Amino acid sequence: MMAAALALPGHAATCEALDAEAIKRSIYIPGYVSDYDVIGKGRLQFYSAPDRKCIIAGVFVTPATA
């Protein structure tokens, strides 16, 4: 969703450009309030920018193991 909002019609969106725009629009969350548990099964792919073309190969969010 965010990638669609950042990409301009008629312009080739690069991962670097999308990343820069996402950083400008982002909100910093300090570590002491970012304590989340990953639930569910499987893996969630990690991306360098809000676009499915910007995969970081081999980097995933995974559920915690007991």
Q: pLDDT, tens digit, for every residue of 24-44? A: 998 888 888 888 777 888 888
**Residue 60 identity (one-letter amino acid):** F
pTM: 0.55
Tokens 């990953």 locate to 38
Check whether 15 has a pLDDT greater than 80.
Answer: yes
Q: How confident is the model at residue 6 (pLDDT cuts 50, 70, 90)?
A: very low
**Residue 42 identity (one-letter amino acid):** G
> Between the CA of residue 19 and those of 9, 12, 14, 58, 65, what are the distances in Å?
17, 14, 8, 19, 31
